[in-house]
């Protein structure tokens, strides 16, 4: 019964957390249906039972206008239901935001009106996101112009793509297939056509596909480009790759601290992530790492978005290299 | 307001039961209006705080381009005008119409001075190109390294501009008060408009008391 | 009632200028009512155009550009020109002073000014339409709205101006409720419609200034490139969303609270029963108004807020649900041991209860962050807010019109047609919007001019029923106006529903130009059906 209802209400469940979200839906759904029938049957029953029949005298009616028991029930029952909903909603939500460590990272860029996907091994696709099944995929979203929103109904996941910062979403596809992607933040004339497809392949098949894509070599992979920029943009003057401190903190150290807190000279701290790296390149004076001088110039205007992505990818790749 | 003896003085509107009710209503609505004004500026203060936290260095360096002396002068001028406004109300309560008139004129003159000084400040900024948004063109040595200084000046001009607009509106209201007092329409019997405009004027003053340190002083 | 009963606010004084320059709250209310209904029909027409386009996939009726203009104008007109001003401006203006026993609102001149400010703002909106429309959505999200070549500035300027009208009306009402009540009319003896308008007004004076500032910043962003909202200039589009929703979420309560007030009047009167939980309803109005200010972030669950903000906003959102639920239960229990008549206003009220309950419950789905991520910006949201705004506010508004029509105009409409229309509105509404919940669950995004084949069936249902909804509403309103032509007058002393509030018991229908011939003396509370029998007098 529930399965058939799920099929009727929802698109297929393809991500690992889709089932959980659908269950949450059905919990609220059944509670709501129950409350709704109480309200509507109560209403119809009372309205009919106490209807004013033709020819009946107008009378003084009951002065009853409260009942402590009922009133406390009005508070307590909805309160219990919404508390469960809230906690369930948050628990499921946390599953949706905590990206597994082994996730493959794909850069998603929205632009009026198409999506571009940059793969970790180099190569770019347009309006076709190809991913392996049973493998966490992390999408780092941004936009080149106005707001867009990246929505994969079968994964039950969605996130806005913004022009000035990165947003992250992830999923782990459980079934191979081709599924819809929609843009759900209004972005102008072509908004309704800004669809794409996600193609979920068996891992082996994906491997093959990715190799082929990489060998095309029409665009340099992000981290390789980053390695070039590292010297080309003179980052190496102040930041080393071997962990030793020069004028600024070493890339290796930053990379190894990925996801951890970094403390600044004013006592505040931030988790090292894409947004932090981006802002520390564009706004180096905002947060100065404790123990260093704030002398770095801003790179605003010197690096385009892809180059920023590249540097971030390069920095992140250092950590994995050292572990090998 | 207890000394209203006449049953229906000419300033009593027909839909009020008595002058007390009329006075209370005006005063209540004025305070509600002040709440609205506070929220209007609150939106802009939030914008100020947000951008200050994003671009702290830029804010610190850009604020040095403002003229603290002129700002301080304006602060003194405006506080004094608040005082004269209060004195005008005190005088009319004592039925001293002459003094009240004098104080209103003083308030008007101070307000004019405020706008005059503001005009000098603005015109200097226009000359050197310290303008909001796309019109920002100033590239002096103090700011070349700054990130988006135009945002500081956007916020500066919007907030002081909106405040200036309030001063100008206040001047119009005070001018009307001067006329009404001169004509003898206001007295210790009925001075509600003066009191209401007084409340408004103090609010204008108060907002400046916040704007001055936020833009000119905090480094 | 005395001899000069023939004199009422409609026929005295006479002449066009006496209307255009009137300081009478009832006449001002009428002018709001007429303009409100015109805009309602305009917005409704746009809605039908949208449904026509969506009847089938592909652009077989209008182009993407036209569709984007149509849906933006539909939203902006319905919200800023109709729903927000209509109930407070029309019904509120006509009824509030009567209900508190005052001769007028606290500041009649301001009231008239408020109407003209509204009209002036509406002119800008009309200019926008004539000049080719605006295509940003009624939310005007940056950076699209700073780049769009359509008429963003005239429209936002119009909204900015209308905001002042909202603020002035709010100030006026608050002062009136606080200071203009007749002696003996204490807070707990006020009709609940007055409480609702009071809560609404509080939100109007505190939230609207923030909208005004947001619109100014948006306009300046377009003219000067100030860099507050435009990411290319160092600004932040998400900040715009915070600003916008800080107003626009409370604005939802500006739209729905007056509807709650109307329902709180209709149900006890037509059930001839003391209202259940008067204080609960009164206080829940205020608490909804207050909590409404703290939940704006739930419009931004997919914008990349911090996890902490998501949790907090989700948590607070549920606290709007509790007082709302209390109200619904109280309205239903009001009928207990009453004498319920199925009059047209009562049918609208019952249909409100049905529809608003769905609207409210679907809000619970959207408040759960994990689920909202799937449903955000899909047709589920479209259906949800139409159940609240149309199924709630507009149905209540229609109910209120039918309830106070004989009072306001001294004429009675054809009640049978009115009942049929009420049923038609109910069926048409459900037929139109219920399928949209399913569309949303299945992943149909909103603001799409075209869509893929899988959604055809539900969309065509929706379009079919929207026709029935449109026709029902049109006939319902025409039926009201037809009562003028038929001159089906009621006696000046008529109290057809047997209501107990001052506007029914102490003045004629239509009311005296100065509201009451002599200062009313309060004899009983607004819903004392357990103490006094008020006859239903009709004709």
Q: Beta partners for A199?
A: A130, A178
The total number of structural domains in chain B stands at: 1
Supply the pLDDT for residue A295: 66
- pLDDT, one tens digit per residue, over A238-249 is 788 888 776 688
CATH at B175 = 1.20.120.80
Residue to mutate among B50, B53, B57, with most A CBs inside 10 A, is: B57
Q: Comparing C470 with C493, which gets the higher pLDDT?
A: C470
Domain ranges of chain C: 28-505
Q: Tell if the CB–CB gap between A62 and C338 is shorter than 8 Å.
A: yes
Which residue in the set C65, C303, C368 is minimally distant from A28, CB to CB?
C368
**In this complex, is the C-beta atom of C308 within 8 Å of any C-beta atom belonging to chain A?**
no
For the segment A125-142, the average pLDDT, to the nearest whole number, is 93
The percent of residues in chain A predicted with pLDDT above 70, rounded, is 93
With a CB-CB cutoff of 8 Å, which residues 412-441 of chain C face chain A?
A: 438, 441
For the segment A262-288, the average pLDDT, to the nearest whole number, is 87
Supply the pLDDT for residue B147: 81
Q: Nearest 5°: phi and psi at A128? A: -140, 110
The token duo for C47 is 């809605």
Q: Tell if the CB–CB gap between A40 and C307 is shorter than 8 Å.
A: no
**In this complex, is the C-beta atom of B50 within 8 Å of any C-beta atom belonging to chain A?**
no
* Pairwise CA distance, residues A161 & A104, whole Å: 19
Instruction: Report CA C310 to chain centroid distance, whole Å.
Output: 29
With a threshold of 0.90, tell me whether the complex ipTM lies above it.
Answer: yes
Mean pLDDT over the full length of chain C: 94
Q: Tell if the CB–CB gap between C335 and A151 is shorter than 8 Å.
A: no
For the segment A120-143, the average pLDDT, to the nearest whole number, is 90
* Pairwise CA distance, residues C241 & A317, whole Å: 35
* Pairwise CA distance, residues A215 & B98, whole Å: 92
- pLDDT, one tens digit per residue, over C303-326 is 999 999 999 999 999 988 889 999
Supply the pLDDT for residue A322: 47
Q: Tell if the CB–CB gap between B147 and A298 is shorter than 8 Å.
A: yes
Supply the pLDDT for residue C488: 87
Q: What is the CATH number of domain C28-505?
A: 1.20.210.10
Q: Nearest 5°: phi and psi at A189? A: -50, -45
Asked if pLDDT for residue B6 goes beyond 50, the answer is: no
Asked if pLDDT for residue B5 goes beyond 60, the answer is: no
Neighbours of B98 (CB within 10 A): 9
**In this complex, is the C-beta atom of A98 within 8 Å of any C-beta atom belonging to chain C?**
no
- pLDDT, one tens digit per residue, over A31-78 is 999 999 999 999 999 999 999 988 888 889 998 888 889 888 888 999
* Pairwise CA distance, residues C112 & C114, whole Å: 5
The token duo for B84 is 């004269």
What does R_g of chain B's alpha carbons equal in angstroms?
A: 21
* Pairwise CA distance, residues B197 & B190, whole Å: 14
Give SS3 for C177.
helix
B31: in domain: yes
**In this complex, is the C-beta atom of C130 within 8 Å of any C-beta atom belonging to chain A?**
no
What domains are there in chain A, each with its CATH number?
2-47+68-97 (no CATH), 104-216 (2.60.40.420), 222-323 (1.10.760.10)
**In this complex, is the C-beta atom of B59 within 8 Å of any C-beta atom belonging to chain A?**
no
* Pairwise CA distance, residues C232 & A301, whole Å: 11
- pLDDT, one tens digit per residue, over B73-92 is 999 999 999 999 999 999 99
B42: in domain: yes
- Residue B85 lies in domain: 19-217
Supply the pLDDT for residue C1: 42
Lowest mean pLDDT among A97-101, A123-127, A144-148: A123-127
Q: Nearest 5°: phi and psi at B105? A: -65, -40
Asked if pLDDT for residue B183 goes beyond 70, the answer is: yes
Supply the pLDDT for residue A87: 94
For the segment A275-296, the average pLDDT, to the nearest whole number, is 83
Residue to mutate among A15, A46, A75, A275, with most C CBs inside 10 A, is: A46
- pLDDT, one tens digit per residue, over B48-77 is 999 999 999 889 988 989 999 999 999 999
Residues C317, A28 contacting (CB under 8 angstroms)? no
Residue to mutate among B59, B60, B62, B147, with most A CBs inside 10 A, is: B147
The percent of residues in chain C predicted with pLDDT above 90, rounded, is 87
For the segment C240-252, the average pLDDT, to the nearest whole number, is 95
Smallest CA-to-CA distance from C178 within B198, B31, B194, B10 is with: B31
- Chain A residue numbers touching B145 (CB-CB < 8 A): 297-298
Work out the end-to-end distance of chain A between its first and last CA atoms, rounded to an integer number of angstroms. Answer: 50
For the segment C160-164, the average pLDDT, to the nearest whole number, is 96
What subunits make at least 3 CB pairs under 8 angstroms with C? A, B
Which residue in the set B55, B56, B145 is minimally distant from A297, CB to CB?
B145
Q: Comparing B6 with C229, which gets the higher pLDDT?
A: C229
**In this complex, is the C-beta atom of A146 within 8 Å of any C-beta atom belonging to chain C?**
yes
Smallest CA-to-CA distance from A66 within C526, C325, C326, C356 is with: C326
Which residue in the set C302, C342, C354 is minimally distant from A51, CB to CB?
C342
**In this complex, is the C-beta atom of C471 within 8 Å of any C-beta atom belonging to chain A?**
no
Residue to mutate among B29, B33, B169, with most C CBs inside 10 A, is: B29
Lowest mean pLDDT among B143-147, C90-94, C254-258, C414-418: B143-147
Give SS3 for A322.
helix
How many degrees, rounded to 5, is the angle at CA C261 between CA C256 and CA C267? Answer: 120
Run of H or E residues at B175? helix B149-183
Asked if pLDDT for residue C159 goes beyond 60, the answer is: yes
- pLDDT, one tens digit per residue, over C376-411 is 999 999 999 999 999 999 999 999 999 999 999 999
* Pairwise CA distance, residues B183 & C28, whole Å: 33
The token duo for B55 is 């671009």
Supply the pLDDT for residue B93: 94
- Chain A residue numbers touching B54 (CB-CB < 8 A): 283, 286
What subunits make at least 3 CB pairs under 8 angstroms with A? B, C
Asked if pLDDT for residue A323 goes beyond 60, the answer is: no
Supply the pLDDT for residue B7: 57
**Residues, chain B:** 219
**In this complex, is the C-beta atom of A74 within 8 Å of any C-beta atom belonging to chain C?**
yes
| Contacts with C432 (C-beta within 8 Å, 6 or more apart), sequence order | C51, C386, C462, C465, C466, C469
B63: in domain: yes
- pLDDT, one tens digit per residue, over C324-334 is 999 999 999 99
How many degrees, rounded to 5, is the angle at CA A115 between CA A109 and CA A119? Answer: 65
* Pairwise CA distance, residues B59 & B218, whole Å: 9
Residues A41, C313 contacting (CB under 8 angstroms)? no
Residues C204, C88 contacting (CB under 8 angstroms)? yes
Q: Tell if the CB–CB gap between C108 and B43 is shorter than 8 Å.
A: no
- Chain C residue numbers touching B40 (CB-CB < 8 A): 209-210, 212-213
Supply the pLDDT for residue A287: 85
- pLDDT, one tens digit per residue, over A163-222 is 989 999 999 999 999 999 999 999 988 898 898 999 999 999 999 888 877 554 446 788
Supply the pLDDT for residue A268: 87
Q: What is the DSSP string of A265-315?
A: TTS-EEE-SHHHHHHHHH-TTTS-BTTS---PPP-TTTS-HHHHHHHHHHH
């Amino acid at each position: 019964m529930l399965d058939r209802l799920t099929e009727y209400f929802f698109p297929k469940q393809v991500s690992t957390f889709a089932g959980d979200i659908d269950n949450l839906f059905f919990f609220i759904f059944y509670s709501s249906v129950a409350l709704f029938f109480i309200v509507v049957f109560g209403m119809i029953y009372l309205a009919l039972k106490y209807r004013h029949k033709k020819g009946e005298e107008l009378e003084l009616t009951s002065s009853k206008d409260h009942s402590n028991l009922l009133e406390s029930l009005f508070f307590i029952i909805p309160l219990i239901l919404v508390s469960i909903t809230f906690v369930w909603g948050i628990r499921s939500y946390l599953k949706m935001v905590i990206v597994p460590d082994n996730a493959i990272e794909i850069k998603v860029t929205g632009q009026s009106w198409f999506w571009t996907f940059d793969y970790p091994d180099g190569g770019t696709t347009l309006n076709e996101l190809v991913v392996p099944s049973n493998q966490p995929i992390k999408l780092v979203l941004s936009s080149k112009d106005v707001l867009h929103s990246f929505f994969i109904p079968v994964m039950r996941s969605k996130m806005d793509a913004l022009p000035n910062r990165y947003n992250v979403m992830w999923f782990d596809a459980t079934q191979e297939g081709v599924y819809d992607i929609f843009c759900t933040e209004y972005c102008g004339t072509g908004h309704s056509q800004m669809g794409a497809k996600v193609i979920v392949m068996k891992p082996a098949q994906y491997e093959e596909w990715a190799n082929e894509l990489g060998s095309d070599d029409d665009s340099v992979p992000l981290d390789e480009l980053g390695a070039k920029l590292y010297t080309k943009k003179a980052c190496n003057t102040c930041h080393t790759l071997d962990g030793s401190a020069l004028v600024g903190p070493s890339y290796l150290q930053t990379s190894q601290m990925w996801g951890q807190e970094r403390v600044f000279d004013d006592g505040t701290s931030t988790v090292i992530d894409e947004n932090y790296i981006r802002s520390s390149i564009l706004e180096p004076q905002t947060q100065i790492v404790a123990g260093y001088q704030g002398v770095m110039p801003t790179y605003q205007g010197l690096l385009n978005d892809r180059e920023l992505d590249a540097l971030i990818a390069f920095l992140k790749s250092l950590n994995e290299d050292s572990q090998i | 307001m207890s000394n209203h003896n006449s049953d229906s003085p000419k300033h009593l509107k027909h839909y009020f039961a008595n002058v007390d009710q009329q006075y209370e209503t005006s005063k209540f609505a004025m305070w509600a209006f002040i709440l609205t004004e506070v929220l209007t500026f609150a939106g802009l203060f939030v914008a100020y705080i947000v951008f200050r936290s994003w671009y702290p260095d830029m804010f610190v360096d850009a604020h040095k381009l403002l003229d603290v002396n002129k700002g301080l002068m304006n602060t003194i001028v405006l506080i004094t005008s608040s005082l004269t406004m209060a004195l005008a109300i005190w005088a009319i309560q004592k039925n001293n119409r002459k003094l009240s008139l004098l104080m209103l004129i003083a308030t008007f003159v101070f307000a004019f001075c405020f706008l005059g000084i503001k005009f000098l400040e603005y015109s200097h900024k226009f000359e050197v190109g310290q303008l909001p948004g796309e019109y920002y063109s100033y590239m002096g040595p103090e700011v070349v390294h700054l990130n988006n200084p135009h945002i500081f000046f956007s916020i500066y001009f919007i907030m002081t501009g909106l405040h200036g607009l309030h001063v100008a509106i206040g001047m119009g209201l005070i001018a009307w008060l001067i006329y009404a007092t001169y004509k003898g329409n206001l007295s210790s019997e009925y001075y509600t408009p003066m009191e209401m405009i007084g409340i408004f004027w103090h609010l204008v003053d108060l907002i400046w008391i916040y704007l001055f340190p936020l833009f000119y002083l905090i480094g | 009632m005395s001899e000069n009963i023939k004199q009422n606010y409609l026929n005295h004084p006479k002449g066009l200028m006496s209307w255009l320059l009137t300081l009478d709250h009832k006449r001002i209310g009428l002018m709001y009512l007429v303009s409100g209904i015109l805009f309602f029909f305009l917005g409704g027409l746009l809605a039908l155009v949208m449904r026509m386009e969506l009847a089938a996939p592909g652009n077989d009726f209008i182009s993407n550009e036209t569709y984007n203009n149509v849906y933006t104008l539909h939203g902006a007109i319905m919200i800023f020109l109709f729903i927000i001003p209509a109930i407070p401006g029309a019904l509120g203006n006509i009824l509030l002073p009567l209900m508190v026993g005052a001769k007028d609102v606290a500041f009649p001149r301001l009231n008239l000014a408020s109407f003209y400010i509204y009209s002036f703002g509406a002119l800008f909106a009309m200019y926008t339409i004539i000049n080719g429309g605006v295509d940003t959505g009624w939310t005007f999200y940056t950076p699209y709205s700073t780049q769009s070549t359509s008429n963003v500035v005239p429209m936002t300027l119009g909204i900015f101006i209308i905001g002042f009208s909202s603020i002035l009306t709010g100030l006026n009402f608050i002062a009136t409720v606080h200071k203009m009540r007749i002696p003996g009319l204490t807070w707990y003896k006020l009709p609940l419609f007055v409480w609702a308008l009071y809560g609404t007004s509080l939100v109007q004076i505190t939230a609207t200034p923030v909208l005004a500032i947001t619109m100014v910043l948006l306009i300046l962003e377009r003219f000067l490139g100030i860099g507050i909202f435009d990411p290319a200039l160092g600004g932040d589009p998400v900040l715009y969303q915070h600003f916008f929703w800080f107003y626009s979420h409370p604005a939802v309560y500006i739209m729905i609270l007056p509807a709650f007030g109307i329902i709180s009047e209709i149900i006890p009167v037509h059930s001839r029963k003391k209202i259940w939980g008067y204080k609960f309803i009164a206080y829940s109005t205020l608490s909804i108004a207050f909590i409404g200010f703290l939940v704006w972030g739930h419009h931004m669950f997919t914008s990349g807020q911090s996890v902490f903000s998501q949790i907090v906003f989700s948590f607070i959102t549920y606290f709007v649900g509790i007082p709302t639920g209390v109200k619904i239960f109280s309205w239903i229990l009001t009928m207990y041991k009453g004498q319920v008549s199925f009059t047209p206003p009562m049918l609208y009220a019952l249909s409100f209860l049905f529809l608003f309950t769905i609207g409210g419950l679907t809000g619970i789905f959207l408040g759960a962050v994990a689920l909202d991520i799937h449903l955000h910006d899909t047709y589920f949201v479209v259906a949800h807010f139409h159940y609240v705004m149309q199924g709630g506010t507009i149905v209540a508004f229609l109910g209120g019109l039918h309830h106070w029509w004989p009072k306001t105009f001294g004429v009675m409409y054809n009640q049978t047609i009115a009942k049929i229309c009420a049923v038609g509105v109910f069926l048409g509404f459900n037929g139109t919007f219920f399928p949209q919940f399913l569309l949303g669950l299945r992943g149909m995004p909103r603001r799409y001019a075209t869509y893929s084949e899988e959604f055809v069936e539900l969309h065509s249902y929706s379009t079919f029923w929207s026709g029935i909804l449109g026709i029902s509403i049109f006939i319902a309103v025409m039926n009201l106006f037809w009562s003028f032509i038929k001159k089906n007058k009621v006696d000046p002393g008529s109290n057809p529903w047997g209501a107990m509030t001052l506007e029914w018991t102490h003045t004629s229908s239509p009311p005296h130009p100065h509201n009451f011939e002599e200062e009313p003396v309060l004899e009983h509370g607004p819903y004392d059906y357990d103490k006094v029998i008020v006859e239903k007098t009709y004709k």
